[in-house]
Amino acid sequence: MSRVCTICGKGPLTGSKISRRGKPKKEGGVGSRVVKRSRRRQLPNLQSVRTSVNGRVVRLRVCAKCLKAGRVARPRS
């Protein structure tokens, strides 16, 4: 299963986590240096939701933003 919203297509974001060493100049030190950059991922807040698609009840992975916006039609019981 991929980590992608089936409604809007929101997926994982990638970026860097920066490790610094030293005391900043504005706090009275000699300055902070970048020591290491490690890769990181930010995953979307996906929820498994039962929805009705073309008259059938189907389970979809939907992000929380789409759920709050009401873009998903819940099945009638």
Query: Does the pLDDT at position 76 exceed 80?
Result: no
pTM of the complete model: 0.73
Query: Token pair for residue 73?
Result: 């039609």
Query: Token pair for residue 58?
Result: 């189907």
CA distance to 37, 39, 48, 64, 68, per residue, from 77 (Å):
51, 45, 18, 23, 21
**Mean of the per-residue pLDDT values of the chain:** 92
